[in-house]
A and B are shown apart, each in its own frame.
Chain A
Amino acid sequence: MTTDKKSVLDYVPAARRDFLKRLLAGAAFAAPVIATFSIDALSNSAYAAGITKPVNTTLTLTAPNTVGNQACAADAGYDGPLTFQAHVTSRFTLLPAVQAGHRVNGEVTLHLSAVGTGISSVNEITGIVSMVSGATITGGSITVGGRAATANLVITGGAFSITNANVTPAVCDLDELADMMASGEATITIDGIYQGSPYNVSGPITGLLSLPTV
């Protein structure tokens, strides 16, 4: 914990200061995630997901990373591509101010590790980010339907790993995230620094179908 973090923590209410201090100590900078959902929607899957809503209506969250914002049916596993790719770049727009910004781009390759035969279950998604020369990477995230599907994604040396611990309430689990990726509904965003200022690039994730063995 640096001196800077201590001074920043002075703004945090005492009751939450130690918690946030521990949270920040182990966290790299990533895109802020704010996921909102209704209690009614949660109620449909609350017990399966680990949420209980006691009589006094105080929410108790026992497993925040695996809580879905939708009714999560019984996990049917995943059947689809195991390798994905995304080209990340600045959003194209005719707004002059955007075009004056960095023109940074790169490639992200993702690979699913699955267990089981036939219909399998995804237990890890690994990725490699390759950006144009001179662009450093500070973080990234995957979004589904405009909502963050990953949290606390740490990219080290251009590589990252997503497990069920990194999945936000926007999706049920890694199987669901993989399904969204295979359906072309997932977008990956990479944050970083180029020439001393931040950049933010993104692109749709597309599956690479493997040819059948003959």
Chain B
Amino acid sequence: MSFRVHVRVMPRDGLLDPQGQAVEHALSALGFAEAGGVRVGRAIELSISAPSRGDAEARVRQMCDKLLANPVTEDYLLEVEEG
């Protein structure tokens, strides 16, 4: 089966996120002062063939642990869809 996997990599909570802060300031300056808690991460999409959804997710977790995310500073979320 083939799957499309969406990986969301975010800076770990509690770590200073200067990009998020800068974007928040810019939003405020543009009249969106109600926006808060802005954080900037990274989105990665990939296709993968695997026997099952669980296998696809397990394989992509290995990719995240090894390369796509830095375990010291980042957390990641996966979303797996068929197709």
Decide if A and B are genuine partners: no
Q: Which residues of A pack against B, CB within 8 Å?
A: none
| Chain B residues with a Cβ under 8 A of chain A | none
